[in-house]
Structure 1
């Protein structure tokens, strides 16, 4: 017959019970002692089980559930490293987002961006009576950049250059294509901005249609100078 295995604390409780009975302790005191002893052993067993059952905290599996005070020195180092990496990722994301926003503003939304100059020049072509006469209905005129072999990326790149001369004047040159119901053509744009100016001004804006049609100038600063409407010279110096 197999011996009945009793819990390890049963014998100690039995000895304590007999001792209490010998000394004639009240039964209520005995119950309190038994209860406290059993609770202490139960909590000790639970703590030992929880400490051995939880996973070792690493950089990969740390989810923050284990309290800082329960971590070992190596686990604390792992959590610190993980939080440091997360902070670096957040800072890099914020910096990248700021760079993208700045680039979009400079290239698209700014008043002096190339996209803005392109849109304003295209609108002037669509509203000009001479251009409408050659190209057709202004509402049906399309403006686009350099052609592409891809149908999905067709006519997206706008050819333009920006440079500064020895006097500090910035030059913006651009050309794009227009197409209407009657004809198609090329628009050439040249704008300048002197050091004393805040915005670009037109040097010329012209539309060239296929052979047989004269160039149409919407802006021509050189012609204004020749007609006396532009800057004049005095004592060999040009005055703006």
Structure 2
């Protein structure tokens, strides 16, 4: 007498070749090559755009960290000249610090307002404006420098310090007038 509840199947082993690999299931929908030329081209455009964005970001970081921009070179030279000037130290005290803009925002204080241009003779000029502060007062600085064609050095066109505190005054620390060209 056989009871239907006690039937045991004799072939319970699975064949090794029919067992599915669990790592194949996530990738079974990926085609081996793009279906159409358009699809392949769109993948290439997306990849190239991503590489372009990454290259632009890398260039911007490299330029900021490795190469000092012209306006910061001019700012550092002008600030050093101001810190060494006895007239300015008497008016606003020492040490003298310089910063870009009157703001509580740190990024705005680090940004130096500037204008870079080339004149009709092909000489490059950089104009900057920034603020200075000492223990006894504060002021505003306007400076312009040009890159001399002969010795390739930056030279002042003008460097003007306008103190606002404790009393208002204006100091012209540098002033350059080129020699007239003989005709």
Pairwise same-fold verdict (TM > 0.5) = yes
Q: How many residues align?
A: 171
Residue 124 (structure 2) aligns with:
170
Please give the TM-score of this superposition, normalised by the length of structure 1.
0.56
Q: 2:27 aligns with which of 46, 57, 61?
A: 57
Q: Choose between structure 1 and 2: higher helix proportion.
A: 1
Distance 1:101 1:184 in 2: 33
Q: Which runs of 5+ in 2 are unaligned?
A: 35-39
* Secondary structure class of the residue paired with 1:167: coil
Q: 1:76 aligns with which of 32, 45, 48?
A: 32
* Secondary structure class of the residue paired with 1:116: helix
Q: 1:46 aligns with which of 7, 16, 29?
A: 16
Distance 1:122 1:6, change over 3 A: same
Larger radius of gyration: 1
Verify the 8 A CA contact 1:190 1:204 in the aligned structure 2: yes
* Aligned counterparts, 1:19-168, within 5 A: 45-50=15-20, 54-57=24-27, 74-77=30-33, 91-92=51-52, 94-104=54-64, 109-110=67-68, 113-137=70-94, 139=95, 141-148=96-103, 150-153=104-107, 155-168=109-122
Distance 1:86 1:48 in 2: 39
Give CA deviations for 1:207-230 in whole Å, capped at 9, x if unaligned.
1223653x32332113xx6xxxxx
RMSD: 3.7
Q: Choose between structure 1 and 2: higher strand proportion.
A: 2
Give CA deviations for 1:7-39 in whole Å, capped at 9, x if unaligned.
359xxxxxxxxxxxxxxxxxxxxxxxxxxxxxx
Distance 1:126 1:52 in 2: 72
Q: 2:10 aligns with which of 4, 7, 16?
A: 7
Q: CA deviation at 1:157?
A: 2.9
Verify the 8 A CA contact 1:171 1:191 in the aligned structure 2: yes
> Larger relative CO (CA 8 A, sep 6+): 1 or 2?
2
Compare 88-97 and 121-130 and name the one that shifted more: 88-97
Q: Which runs of 5+ in 1 are unaligned?
A: 10-40, 60-73, 226-230
